[in-house]
Amino acid sequence: MSSTAIESVLSDRVMSMTESATLQMAGMARKMKEQGIDVITLSLGEPDFDTPQHIKDAALKAMEAGHTKYTAVAGNLDLREAICAKLKRENGLDFKPSQIVVSNGAKQDIANLCLAMINPGDEVIILSPYWVSYSDIVKMCGGEAVVLSAGVEEDFKVPASRVEAAISDRTKLIMFSSPCNPTGSVFNEDELKAIAEVVARHENLYIMSDEIYEHINFTGKHISIASFPEVKDRTIVVNGFSKAFAMTGWRLGYMAAPQFIADACVKIQGQMTSGANSIAQKAGVAALNSDLRPTQEMTMAFRRRRDLIISLLKEIPGFKCNFPTGAFYIFPDISAYFGKSDGVTTIHNSDDFSLFLLNQAHVATVGGSAFGDDHCFRISYAASEDQIREAVRRIKEAVSKLK
């Protein structure tokens, strides 16, 4: 079929969207592996650990007990109660079970939220670098992504003053993640408070606070922006099970939101998916109601890997890194290589750089353009220390050919 014929069949919506760069790169690496090529995959943001056994056991028990039917659209009450207890215990936040919406991953919560809040022409401020899907979900809903950037020299954290300057009478929502994917940066209490104070001054403005990496935080305690009373009623906290409990394939996430927003998201979800998987929901209860030792052990491993990768990357000329204090990503600025060539490939941008590494070093990463910063590329260090050492050795060798 010709591309014009395809365009006449497909919606403008899907034609204006880009494919998720993280999933695309992971797919390319998978194909090369299938051809027998020894690719080290540092592209997908996914813990390399298995789901803890007690969580799997809860799922088996749930199946045997017959929890195999549709659940309430917003999620089973026991799970929503466990989420409320977690939000109180760990974050000091008061939410009622009716304010919780459980979905097929945090990604779906973000999509539900944007579908519920955004009208065509509405603006959404996205603090950049940002997670790939934010801008495309906003676009899918007809919204306009207003991307505010901070580079490596600012630890990739957009200051509140720049947020305030970007607010217009069409701004509905501010979106960000802390700890941040793709930079590993964590907004500190003062930085969060300053953003909260800006939002508090604009009465129709809401915050989507993506806290999915809250436990993978090497700075100590996680702070939710919803803990500032001035914005508690205007913050939608998004979280999930994928990262903290190594449950990416279970597809389970949640939001805690002002009541009318939660109700609107339930309405949307009821027409789209009917809710999250019943067995995964029972596993989610076990995850939240047990101690966090497996999560803490994973976090300690990620911290050792962070230290390792930082020390190794320091030896590569032209790599400018921040010091990530959370998540499991590092986002080096490699713009020093732009314009350089190995005699065959010239590097013009971050995607060229990432593809060059895939083809020449057999290391899969993701170009920074999809995260809003074309000077950088993302390495997910959710891999063994041996894989990290070998990947950086290969990267160093490949870039040494760029002159």
44 binds, among ligand PMP, ligand GLU, none (CB under 5 to 8 A by kind): ligand GLU
Between 31 and 201, whose beta carbon lies closer to ligand GLU? 31
Between 134 and 228, whose beta carbon lies closer to ligand GLU? 134
User: Which among 189, 181, 175, 307 has a CA at the least distance from the CA of 243?
Assistant: 181
| Stretch touching ligand GLU by CB under 6 A, among 43-51, 67-75, 95-103, 356-364 | 43-51
Contacting ligand PMP (CB under 6 A), which of 191, 210, 214, 373? Answer: 210
- Residues facing residue 256 across a β-bridge: 100, 237
227 binds, among ligand GLU, ligand PMP, none (CB under 5 to 8 A by kind): none
For the CA atoms of the chain, what is the radius of gyration?
21
The minimum distance between CB 95 and ligand GLU, in angstroms, equals 24
C-alpha distances (whole Å) from 358 to each of 22, 361, 394 are 14, 6, 10
Cα–Cα distance for residue pair 64/269, rounded to 1 Å = 27
Number of alpha carbons in the 13 Å side-chain half-sphere of residue 156: 35
**Tokens standing for 154?**
């600012």
| Stretch touching ligand PMP by CB under 6 A, among 99-107, 113-121, 152-160, 343-351 | 99-107
The minimum distance between CB 355 and ligand GLU, in angstroms, equals 17
Q: How many chain residues are in contact with ligand PMP, going by CB under 6 A? A: 13
> What mask, x for binding ligand GLU by CB under 6 A, covers residues 89 to 128?
------------------x---------------------
Cα–Cα distance for residue pair 57/387, rounded to 1 Å = 30
Number of alpha carbons in the 13 Å side-chain half-sphere of residue 56: 6
- Residues facing residue 148 across a β-bridge: 127
Q: Is 292 in the site for ligand GLU (CB under 6 A)?
A: no
The minimum distance between CB 327 and ligand GLU, in angstroms, equals 9
> What mask, x for binding ligand GLU by CB under 6 A, covers residues 252 to 281?
------------------------------
The minimum distance between CB 176 and ligand PMP, in angstroms, equals 9
The minimum distance between CB 133 and ligand GLU, in angstroms, equals 6
User: Which among 318, 316, 301 has a CA at the least distance from the CA of 394?
Assistant: 316
20 binds, among ligand PMP, ligand GLU, none (CB under 5 to 8 A by kind): ligand GLU
Residue ranges in 9-38 that form contacts with ligand GLU under rule CB under 6 A: 20, 22-23
Residue ranges in 163-202 that form contacts with ligand PMP under rule CB under 6 A: 177, 181
Whether the bond between 129 and the residue before it is cis, its omega within 30 degrees of 0, is yes
Q: Is 181 in the site for ligand GLU (CB under 6 A)?
A: yes
Which DSSP string corresponds to 23-61? HHHHHHHHHHHHTT---EE--S---SSPPPHHHHHHHHH
Between 272 and 316, whose beta carbon lies closer to ligand PMP? 272
240 binds, among ligand GLU, ligand PMP, none (CB under 5 to 8 A by kind): ligand PMP
Q: Which residue is nearest to ligand PMP (CB)?
A: 105
Cα–Cα distance for residue pair 287/242, rounded to 1 Å = 11
- Residues facing residue 211 across a β-bridge: none
User: Which among 101, 107, 111 has a CA at the least distance from the CA of 143?
Assistant: 111
| Stretch touching ligand PMP by CB under 6 A, among 103-111, 186-194, 263-271, 344-352 | 103-111
Residues 6+ apart with CB under 8 A from 47: 242, 243, 246, 248, 298, 328, 382
Residues 6+ apart with CB under 8 A from 122: 142, 143, 144, 170, 171, 172, 173
> What mask, x for binding ligand PMP by CB under 6 A, covers residues 105 to 134?
xxx-----------------------x---
Question: CB of 252 within 8 A of CB of 109?
Answer: no
Q: Is 45 in the site for ligand PMP (CB under 6 A)?
A: yes
Question: CB of 170 within 8 A of CB of 122?
Answer: yes
What amino acid occupies position 138?
V
Q: Is 212 in the site for ligand PMP (CB under 6 A)?
A: yes
Q: Is 369 in the site for ligand GLU (CB under 6 A)?
A: no
Whether the bond between 332 and the residue before it is cis, its omega within 30 degrees of 0, is no
Binding residues vs ligand GLU (CB under 6 A):
20, 22-23, 44-46, 107, 131-133, 181
The binding site for ligand PMP (CB under 6 A) comprises 45, 105-107, 131, 177, 181, 210, 212, 240, 242, 248, 253
